[in-house]
């Protein structure tokens, strides 16, 4: 049995779907059962547990032999770093006594120690903790999620403007959730010696300008990129409803992404192109 955290999230649900497609038994861990209705209809078992509840997570992990670990994003109106540090610690604590024989963790490019750097720091905390415990742990660091653009499609439809916190010509690795799900499922099913870091990205790297071009083609209208000045990101994020501390964290994470971590050469490449991602989103 495979236990998949955040079964209602992009990566968790894609991983669960992939395992079910392969005929494997799956238990998804979600905050509420309604979020996992489609997976339950396909035969997945459902356990309701909060990612910050160590005891509930441990009980959920005991339902299976291997688990996908996902530290879910905190609400942007909260102190996102503080919340995600607590959930990372709860996940790590829940492994003790879980009986799992292998785990696969979802992480990201550019992880590094530091304060107020968003996912780069909170996921480094999770990675570091996994290296300090005894269960064999595989870590999938994924590229910039194509789904990060999904919530902006409405603005593009309305006025042809694609807001971007990244410079228009910055070429970065991007990846679709289906490819992350396939990569996670492979490592959940692989041997106990398949541990350590694997990088996962799409078939090629893209700029925000490429995102605008893909949407322009699919929507049949011109689309331009409106890049936010990197010095003004805190104000921009605060205007979107982020708490003051979350705005600081996301702004610094974005600046470090824009500065660019050293990109790996040895990567697992998925199949889904940026255009295919948006075509599926738009039902084209």
Banded model confidence at residue 265, pLDDT cuts 50, 70, 90: confident
Helices 54-61 and 80-95: crossing angle, nearest 10°? 40
Is the CB of residue 63 less than 8 Å from the CB of residue 1? yes
pTM for the model stands at: 0.94
Extract the runs of DSSP E, i.e. beta strands, from the chain: 2-5, 26-30, 45-48, 66-69, 102-108, 137-142, 144-145, 161-164, 172-175, 196-201, 205-206, 224-227, 268-269
Is the CB of residue 25 less than 8 Å from the CB of residue 1? yes
Confidence check: pLDDT of 161 > 90? yes
Each residue of 55-80: pLDDT tens digit?
999 999 999 999 999 999 999 999 99
Measured at the alpha carbon of residue 170, what is the angle toward residues 166 and 173, in degrees to the nearest 5?
Answer: 95
Domains of the chain: 2-145+175-203+264-271 (3.40.50.720)
Helices 119-131 and 80-95: crossing angle, nearest 10°? 20
Q: Which two tokens stand for residue 32?
A: 């509420």
Extract the runs of DSSP E, i.e. beta strands, from 134-269: 137-142, 144-145, 161-164, 172-175, 196-201, 205-206, 224-227, 268-269
Q: Which two tokens stand for residue 197?
A: 């870091």
Distance CA 276, CA 284 (A): 9
Q: How far is CA 128 from CA 89, 122, 139, in A?
A: 11, 10, 11
Q: Which two tokens stand for residue 166?
A: 């990244």
Each residue of 97-144: pLDDT tens digit?
999 999 999 999 999 999 999 999 999 999 999 999 999 999 999 999
Confidence check: pLDDT of 8 > 90? no
Q: What is the dihedral of CA 243, 208, 166, 222, to 10 degrees?
A: -70
Burial class (CB in 10 A: 0-12, 13-18, 19+), 170: middle
pLDDT score recorded for residue 261? 67
Distance CA 13, CA 26 (A): 11
């Amino acid at each position: 049995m495979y236990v998949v955290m955040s079964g209602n999230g992009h990566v968790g649900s894609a991983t669960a779907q992939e395992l079910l497609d392969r005929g494997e038994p799956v238990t998804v861990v979600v905050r509420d059962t309604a979020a996992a209705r489609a997976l339950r209809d396909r035969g997945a078992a459902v356990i309701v547990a909060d990612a910050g509840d160590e005891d509930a997570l441990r009980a959920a992990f005991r339902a299976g032999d291997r688990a996908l670990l996902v530290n879910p994003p905190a609400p942007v109106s909260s102190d996102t770093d503080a919340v995600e540090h607590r959930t990372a610690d709860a996940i790590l604590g829940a492994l003790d006594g879980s009986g799992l024989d292998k785990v696969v963790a979802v992480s990201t490019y550019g992880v590094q120690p530091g304060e107020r750097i968003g996912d780069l720091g909170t996921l480094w905390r999770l990675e570091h903790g996994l290296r300090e415990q005894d269960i064999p742990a595989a870590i999938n660091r994924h590229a910039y999620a194509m789904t990060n653009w999904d919530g902006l499609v409405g603005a593009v439809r309305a006025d042809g403007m694609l807001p971007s916190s990244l410079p228009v010509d910055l070429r970065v690795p991007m990846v679709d959730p289906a490819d992350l799900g396939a990569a996670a499922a492979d490592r959940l099913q692989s041997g106990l010696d398949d541990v350590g870091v694997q990088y996962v990205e799409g078939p090629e790297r893209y700029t925000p300008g490429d995102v605008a071009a893909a949407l322009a083609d699919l929507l049949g209208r011109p689309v331009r990129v409106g890049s936010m000045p990197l010095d003004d990101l805190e104000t921009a994020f605060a205007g979107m409803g982020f708490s003051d501390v979350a705005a600081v964290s996301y702004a610094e994470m974005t600046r470090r992404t824009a500065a660019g971590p050293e990109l790996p050469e040895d990567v697992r490449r998925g199949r889904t192109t940026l255009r295919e991602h948006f075509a599926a989103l738009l039902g084209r």
